[in-house]
Amino acid sequence: MSGERLRLGFIALNDAAALIVADALGYFGQEGLAVDLVREVSWATMRDKLAVGALDGAHLLAPLALAASLGAPDGRPIPLVAPLALNINGPAITLSSHLAAAVGEGPHADGLARLIARRREEGASPLTLAVVFPLSVHAYLLRDWLARAGVDPDNDVRLTVAPPSRMTELLVGGVVEGFCVTEPWDTAAVVAGAGMIAARGSELWPRTPDKVFAVTEAWAEADPPRLRAVLRALLRAAAWADAQENRAELAAILARPHYVGADAAVIEASLGDIVFDADGASAPQPVHAAWLLSQMMRWRHIPADVDIGRVAGQVYRPDLHAAAAVDLGRPAIVPLDGLVGFSPLGPFRLAEAQAHAVHGALSRLRPA
């Protein structure tokens, strides 16, 4: 396939596996593609490089892809499309060992509000908890977990941002007392003896949507054949990564210094419930985008008049995923119309997303 070399960005996380495997095992080359896989440090840098064309495609936080398309937070829209979901599950909330013992484990964190009230009475500084980016699945998972415990994320704790690979170091140093990040950095903290996993994302939001592969809308429209070839390579890589018989080799590949760079045994132990392709995991589901937009609206990170259904359908493109899947002889994935288990208020349905989001914005400390 003709064309200049493609530059695709990733962050050092397990959920970059499809990109990393496609690079390491030659799937890009088999599709006639010349690809430079570029390891980036921050999500903001990834977004900005996509915007100016320094990257052709990227491993990206799903809420960031949605926010960029809306022009949040700085008012400069960067129209992106997400033709592939890179993973389901993977994020977790990890607390320092002493905090986990005081709070208790599980999705409800019953002792958290009492602990915060006691610290306030004693004049102690607020808990400092880290996320990878303000507009991330991790930030919204952590906010939802706190809110379910009766804790106001904007007033009762201090939320800060840190790169995923530095989370364990910050926990060990006492700079933060907990964080929400995608593996392997939760398991790395446990192995280091610095923390305990209090709740996995899948306990709060079953089959948690996480990262997507994103490209600019302009690039998708200008070069459909190469985009389709990239998607075929990523689908093949994701299917390979899902196979249990490949997990040890996958961990060894991810552990290479220029990829994730963590210990291979830690990575293998941290693969856990993450799914890259099986059971439709790689299909970008507009209902997932709608759920994330509802959380963004709940916490007033986007305006209440954003048309959730329209934005979800513009950014998440299952049609592009389906075209590449057909090339590989794979069946089409049936779009989901609702999500069960995400909200204690009942099923979340795409058709009712706007009303659900507005309700959540009016009652932020009740489950949205």
pLDDT digit string, tens, across residues 226-270? 999 999 999 999 999 999 999 999 999 999 999 999 999 999 999
Sheet (strand 6-10) strand order: 35-39, 6-10, 57-61, 211-216, 80-85
| Under 8 Å between Cβ of 6 and 57 | yes
Bond into 77 cis (ω within 30):
no
Asked whether the beta carbons of 87 and 207 are under 8 A apart, the reply is no
- For the chain, list the domains and their CATH numbers: 6-88+208-285+302-335 (3.40.190.10), 91-204 (3.40.190.10)
Spell out the residues 6+ positions from residue 308 whose beta carbon is closer than 8 angstroms to its own: 290, 293, 294, 297, 353, 354, 357
Q: What is the pLDDT of residue 106?
A: 61
The sheet with strand 178-182 has its strands ordered as 158-161, 128-131, 178-182, 91-96, 195-200
Would you say 367 and 345 are in contact if contact means Cβ atoms under 8 Å apart?
yes
State pLDDT tens for residues 173-222: 999 999 999 999 999 999 999 999 999 999 999 999 999 999 999 999 99
Task: Give the model's pLDDT for residue 340.
Answer: 95
Check: CB of residue 268 under 8 Å from CB of residue 53.
no
User: What pLDDT shows up at residue 364?
Assistant: 56
pLDDT band at 315 (very low <50, low <70, confident <90, very high): very high
Lowest mean pLDDT among 28-42, 107-121, 336-350: 107-121
Please tell me the predicted confidence (pLDDT) of residue 105.
Answer: 62
pLDDT digits (tens, 9 = 90+) for 89-143: 999 999 999 898 888 666 677 788 889 989 889 999 999 999 999 999 999 999 9
The phi and psi torsions of 55 (rounded to 5 degrees) equal -125, 140
Contact 162, 132 (CB under 8 A): yes
pLDDT at residue 366 is higher than 70: no
The encoded tokens of residue 246 equal: 């490949």
Cα 345 from Cα 294, distance rounded (Å): 14
Strand, coil or helix: 292 = helix
Per-residue model confidence (pLDDT) at position 2: 45
For the stretch 2-26, pLDDT in tens is 468 999 999 999 999 999 999 999 9
Helix residue ranges, H only, 216-366: 217-222, 224-242, 247-254, 264-270, 286-298, 308-315, 318-327, 353-362
- Residues with Cβ < 8 Å from 172, sequence gap 6 or more? 189, 192, 194
